Amino acid sequence: MTAMDFAGANTGRGYEQFLRELRPRQAGARVCVLRGAPGTARRQLLQRLAREWQRQGRAVCCHAGAEGGDSLLAVVSGDRAALDGALPLGPEAGPEDLAIDLSAALDLSALRGQRAQAEALQRRVQSLRSRAWRCLQVAHTAWSDTAAIYAEAADQGAVMNLRLELSRWIQGESGRRRRVFARAVTPDGVVSHTEGLARPHTLCLELPWGFDPDPLLYPAAAALQLRGEGHTAVMQLLDGGRLEHLCTDTHAVVTEPLPGCEKRTLPLDEAVLRREQSALAFNRAAYDLWLRQGVEALSAARDCALRLERLVEDAALPDKREELAQAALRFLA
């Protein structure tokens, strides 16, 4: 199944995820929250649910994690959703939800002899991921310094006019906000689903690398929120607290080029850019270097995580695992 966006991402602030915002809110909605240790096939069950819904002809929204490959954190179809609840600060199962702990399908006696190795691998995975997040934090610092330079160079009158235009232009229908990422740093590098942001009405802001779009987009997002209009706040690659794009069902403001979209630009003070030319070049080089270091750490962490999953997989009870899968399928039918 091809994901539409990322529900979680590696950032300079650690691993950030917005799974709780994907929970359907309709009356009678059904949500299945999956728990379990690494290697208990949570992601495989999410993929199976998505394929089953697709086979039934239902519209399916797949939301990826940032582990690379075809990893998923959530699948949603109308008023049905399955969410990975094993992440820190992940979604809790409510009284009407079905909570499934896939660790119940493990032969714990078969794992006892592997405990020391499993714990060592888990510590190594966490150490490598923490290093990756530190690298991404440094990369984001370089990006932020570039953003400060462009903020000084931008024509403030043009910035105010563009903010006002975007706030008046973007429209949505009654609904609520959800946050996602269109891009994520994964063990395979930066992966993008930005092409999926295109809407019938799309504006592309042509901004140089390092220009922070959040001050342009935030007033429009706040106006949608105030009017009670549903929208998707697409957060920045290395900072889940700042906007990179903004979408509704019919409108989108994106900060990457998309074919056929209307474009807007901002005038920049060339004297400021010439003065800061060395700093801009240094920041881009530093960003690329630290981003690459972060990807390498994530790749090493994935290798260790796969070794850990293979240890756990050897202790799986296939019949019990299938029983739990069938319980999820029935509940979400």
pLDDT in tens, 244-303: 999 999 999 999 989 889 999 999 999 999 999 999 999 999 999 999 999 999 999 999
- Could you tell me what percent of the chain has a pLDDT over 90? 79
- Could you tell me what percent of the chain has a pLDDT over 70? 98
Both 325 and 262 in one domain: the answer is no
Instruction: Return the pLDDT at 188.
Output: 95
The vertex-49 CA angle with 48 and 50, nearest 5°, equals 90
Q: Tell me if 84 is assigned to some domain.
A: yes
Query: DSSP letter at 160?
Result: H
Of 98-112, 117-131, 145-159, which range is least confident?
98-112
Instruction: Return the pLDDT at 207.
Output: 97
- For residue 239, the enclosing domain spans 155-267
Both 102 and 169 in one domain: the answer is no
Q: Tell me if 285 is assigned to some domain.
A: no
Average pLDDT over residues 149-177: 95
Both 261 and 166 in one domain: the answer is yes
pLDDT above 70 (res 43): yes
Reported confidence tier of residue 38, pLDDT bands at 50, 70, 90: confident
pTM for the predicted model, two decimal places: 0.92
Reported confidence tier of residue 3, pLDDT bands at 50, 70, 90: low
Determine contact, residues 68/189, Cβ cutoff 8 Å: no
> Could you tell me whether strands 80-84 and 183-186 are parallel, antiparallel, or unpaired per DSSP bridges?
unpaired
Instruction: Return the pLDDT at 234.
Output: 98
pLDDT above 60 (res 1): no
Closest CA to 38 of 81, 4, 87, 5: 87
Both 100 and 170 in one domain: the answer is no
Query: What pairs with residue 9 in β-bridges?
Result: 16
Both 83 and 181 in one domain: the answer is no
Residue 313 to residue 30: CA distance in whole angstroms: 29
- CA dist 272 to 42, 275, 276, Å? 51, 5, 6
Instruction: Return the pLDDT at 115.
Output: 85
Q: Tell me if 308 is assigned to some domain.
A: no
pLDDT above 80 (res 87): no
pLDDT digits 0-9 by tens, 169-214: 999 988 899 999 999 999 999 999 999 999 999 999 999 999 999 9
* The residue type at 93: A
Both 256 and 164 in one domain: the answer is yes
Both 163 and 90 in one domain: the answer is no
Determine contact, residues 207/154, Cβ cutoff 8 Å: no
Q: Tell me if 242 is assigned to some domain.
A: yes
Both 164 and 262 in one domain: the answer is yes
- Classified as helix, coil or strand, 201 is strand
pLDDT above 80 (res 94): yes
Instruction: Return the pLDDT at 225.
Output: 94
Determine contact, residues 251/170, Cβ cutoff 8 Å: yes
Both 76 and 175 in one domain: the answer is no
pLDDT above 60 (res 90): yes
Closest CA to 22 of 6, 37, 9: 6
Reported confidence tier of residue 4, pLDDT bands at 50, 70, 90: confident
Both 102 and 190 in one domain: the answer is no
Stretch (H or E) spanning 251: strand 251-254
Give how many domains the chain has, as a whole number. Answer: 2
Determine contact, residues 52/329, Cβ cutoff 8 Å: yes
- CA dist 299 to 11, 73, 175, Å? 15, 19, 38
Both 236 and 324 in one domain: the answer is no
Mean pLDDT of the chain: 93
Instruction: Return the pLDDT at 2.
Output: 61
Average pLDDT over residues 160-176: 94
pLDDT digits 0-9 by tens, 289-312: 999 999 999 999 999 999 999 888
Long-range contacts of 165-170 (CB under 8 A, 24+ apart): 165/264, 166/203, 166/216, 166/217, 166/219, 166/220, 166/246, 166/253, 167/219, 167/220, 167/223, 169/203, 169/220, 169/251, 170/220, 170/223, 170/224, 170/231, 170/246, 170/248, 170/251, 170/253
